[in-house]
Amino acid sequence: MDEKVLLKGNIAIAKAALNCGCSCYFGYPITPQTDIGEYLSLEMQKKNLAYVCAESEIGAINMALGAASSGEKVMTSSSSCAVALMQEALSYASSDELPIVLVNVMRAGPGQGYIYPSQGDYNQATIGGGNGDYKTIVLSPSSVQECIDLTYKSFYLAQKYKNPTILLVDGLLGQMAEPAIITKNPYPDIDNSSWILDGAKNRPSRNIHSLEPDQNKLNQHILKLYQKYQQIEKNEPVWEEYLCEDADIILTAFGTMARSIKAVCNHFRKTRIKMGVFRPVTLYPFPYKRLRELSVKARYFIDIEMNMGQMLKDIRLGVLSNAQISFIGKPVGDWLRKEEIISAVNNIIKEQYASI
Amino acid sequence: MQVYSIPKSIKKDSKFTFCKGCDHGVAIKIIAEIIDELNLKENTIAISSSGCSVLLYNFLDVDCLEAPHGRACAVATGVKRAHRAKGQDKFVFTYQGDGDFASIGLGESMHSALRGENITAICINNTNYGMTGGQMGPTSTMGQLTTTSPLGRNKEYHGFPIKTAEQIALCEGTQFSARVALYDVKNILKAKKIIKKAFECQLKGGGFSFVEILSSCPTNWKLSPQDSHKKIEEELTKIYPLEIFKDTTND
Amino acid sequence: MSYIKLDQNKCKSCYLCIDVCPHKLLKKSSHIGSTGELTVEFSDTENKCIGCAQCAIVCPEIAIVEVNR
């Protein structure tokens, strides 16, 4: 079990889902995530689990919504423009407090875009495209190992908070193979016997619904959801720091992008520029608090993303006016290379941070 | 001897909130009676939808999940399959309007039928969007006046309506598809028999079962409850015949 | 002796039951119900009710709560 194996991100996610007891998967093909569904189709049929090739992503996420009401661990996966189709049900599932794990292996947009690498769904995942006051938990892996670890965590957090959870994966990572250890699921199962729908036997009937014609009750319901979100924001932010303690300049990135910028950071450290790397692992809840602490000491933040600056506004909300913030980005295509980033960072340092 | 009482599967002290004379109340009542007769109360998960039919969970005393508009059959698929993955067979049915089942949700509905999903769908067809105030729906008939077809539905301008039960009967995975009405005692009793048969189809495990119920919408039709029933009997049943279109339960 | 029990609080005055009663034992009462119209009452001074339950079958409001035969 502890042996390293060569694994693609998508397959790692599928294996981890099975490992932690996911018994229901509903999906529709879209590149670059299709191999998750392909892998699970055989494995789940062999075990007599629930697998449906849905008629659409709308069908898939609504099957997931129904299945989640049974208390089983439920997953669907898709990509960018098709995750857009799922936003309605995410809003419903958030209001219904149903635990669904949604894996979004991102492609480039807007619209159909193409299957090129991009991180263009940060806003879609963290802000959401559904209606009303709701939040979804968003986890962002940066390696195949983390695809496994964070799949486990996605199921755990979804069940723990009875909330849809999105695993936001770079297309690059979904399609990339690297060595990883298929660990055991470290999280306990959550008792859900108090709310699931399994037939009103020896108990009053239950109903799960989002319609609420009584405005006071609707207010109370949303306030209750927000108390839960506050707990999530208090308990669950996770981030990775690299050489941040004494850093003057902190590079920020999420997902796979954070890997190349560690090399950038090492490069500048050799030139005696005190640089660090800060990577949010949970995009919601975003680790604002730690970012603010770091911004008291660090003077400059450079946010680097494969989009036009979607996480940038969260960096700004964390840093406020404590430090200067710059952005390096590219919406789509070949990942920004170490050399490109070094040269862009050098330009920023020359132009804006002359005092360093 | 008491020969009639409120079905046990109706929530205590329920007071229906549908409009005066609306057939939803009769439909829910006979569904509750069938749930009682088949002893399904403790094993049922009902899926309600959007529109007037969403209110089902307020009245029916079984576990109930509300689906987003049109998605009831997809949600029911998930519910049915998830319990099956646990090794349990639950009785799962949807309760939808014609707009929900046959317009916004036609894809989910028809694919559930095509797959032969072992669920039952009940569709209340009142030939308009009732809850929003009587707009033209997928089943509005030719010439029908609605708030969005104020000059009457017209085939050149608005296009044709859908005959849902006939369409669903064409699907290979459909085991049972029928249309019933509730405009008089005889038809209510017949409707109950047919819905019961659809429920039993699922219990036997053969595939998709479907019943379309021609229902009155006195408020939006701007007719009395009596005249609404007359319209169903004299007009609608000519366009939407009351038949069992497919029944392969004995094959 | 057959009789029915009718819950006037549930009656919405659709009068569908009045139409189906074979002995015309259901009629408008003097009580104004939730729709602003007169609700239905059961009156059977000559013990004509046969407990056929047709009124209960057509009632969309489950306002006829009992039929006894």
Q: Give the model confidence (pLDDT) of C7-33 as tens digits.
A: 999 999 999 999 999 999 999 999 999
Q: How would residue A345 be classed by pLDDT, with cut points 50, 70 and 90?
A: very high
Q: Indicate the fold that domain A4-188+209-235 takes in CATH.
A: Rossmann fold (3.40.50)
**CA pair distance A44, B106, nearest whole angstrom:** 28
Residues of B in contact with A58 (CB under 8 A): 71, 74, 107-108
- What's the pLDDT score for residue A11? 98
C-alpha separations of A269 from A166, A244, A265, A272, A274 in Å: 35, 12, 6, 5, 6
Cβ density class A205-236: b for 16+ within 10 Å, e for less:
bbbbbbeeeeeeeeeebeeebeeebeebbeeb
pLDDT, averaged across chain C: 96
A vs B contact (3+ beta-carbon pairs below 8 A):
yes
- What's the pLDDT score for residue A356? 56
Pick the CATH number of A240-352 from 2.60.40.10, 3.40.250.10, 3.40.50.920, 3.30.465.10: 3.40.50.920
Domain with CATH 3.40.50.970 in chain A: 4-188+209-235
Range of the domain at B242: 24-133+163-247
Domains in chain B: how many in total?
1
pLDDT > 70: what percent of chain A? 99
- As given in the structure block, the two tokens for residue B45 are 């998960």
Asked if residue B139 is part of any domain, the answer here is: no
Asked if residue B183 is part of any domain, the answer here is: yes
Q: What are B47-81's pLDDT values in tens digits?
A: 999 999 999 999 999 999 999 999 999 999 999 99
A142: left (phi over 0), alpha (psi -120 to 50) or beta: alpha
Helix (H) or strand (E) holding B210: strand B208-214
User: Residue B206 pLDDT > 90, yes or no?
Assistant: no
- As given in the structure block, the two tokens for residue A246 are 């004494």
Q: What are B93-130's pLDDT values in tens digits?
A: 999 999 999 999 999 999 999 999 999 999 999 999 99
**CA pair distance B144, B138, nearest whole angstrom:** 12
Q: How would residue A168 be classed by pLDDT, with cut points 50, 70 and 90?
A: very high
Which residues touch A99 (CB under 8 Å, ≥6 apart)?
A68, A73, A74, A155, A158, A159, A161, A162, A163, A164, A165
**CA pair distance A252, A260, nearest whole angstrom:** 11
Instruction: Name the closest residue on chain C to residue B225, using Cα atoms.
Output: C14
CATH number for B47: 3.40.50.970
Of B45, B61, B108, the CB nearest to A62: B108
- What's the pLDDT score for residue C1? 87
Peptide bond into A285 cis (omega under 30): yes
**CA pair distance A277, A279, nearest whole angstrom:** 7
Of B11, B68, B86, the CB nearest to A88: B68
Strands B244-247 and A4-8: unpaired
- The interface predicted TM-score (ipTM) is 0.97
B16 to C10: CB separation less than 8 angstroms, yes or no:
yes
Of A23, A199, A205, the CB nearest to B85: A23
Pick the CATH number of C3-68 from 3.40.50.10860, 3.30.70.20, 3.10.105.10, 3.20.20.10: 3.30.70.20
Domain with CATH 3.40.50.920 in chain A: 240-352
Interface of C with B in 10-39 (CB under 8 A): 10, 12-16, 19-20, 35
Q: Are C40 and C11 spatial neighbours (Cβ–Cβ below 8 Å)?
A: yes
Q: What are A266-303's pLDDT values in tens digits?
A: 999 999 999 999 999 999 999 999 999 999 999 999 99
**CA pair distance B195, B59, nearest whole angstrom:** 18
Asked if residue B211 is part of any domain, the answer here is: yes
**CA pair distance B157, B136, nearest whole angstrom:** 12
**CA pair distance A203, B98, nearest whole angstrom:** 33
**CA pair distance A38, A127, nearest whole angstrom:** 30
**CA pair distance A205, B35, nearest whole angstrom:** 14
Q: How would residue A354 be classed by pLDDT, with cut points 50, 70 and 90?
A: low
Q: What are A42-53's pLDDT values in tens digits?
A: 999 999 999 999
Sheet bearing A22-27, strands edge to edge: A50-53, A22-27, A73-78, A101-106, A165-170, A137-139, A282-284
Mean pLDDT value across residues A79-93: 98
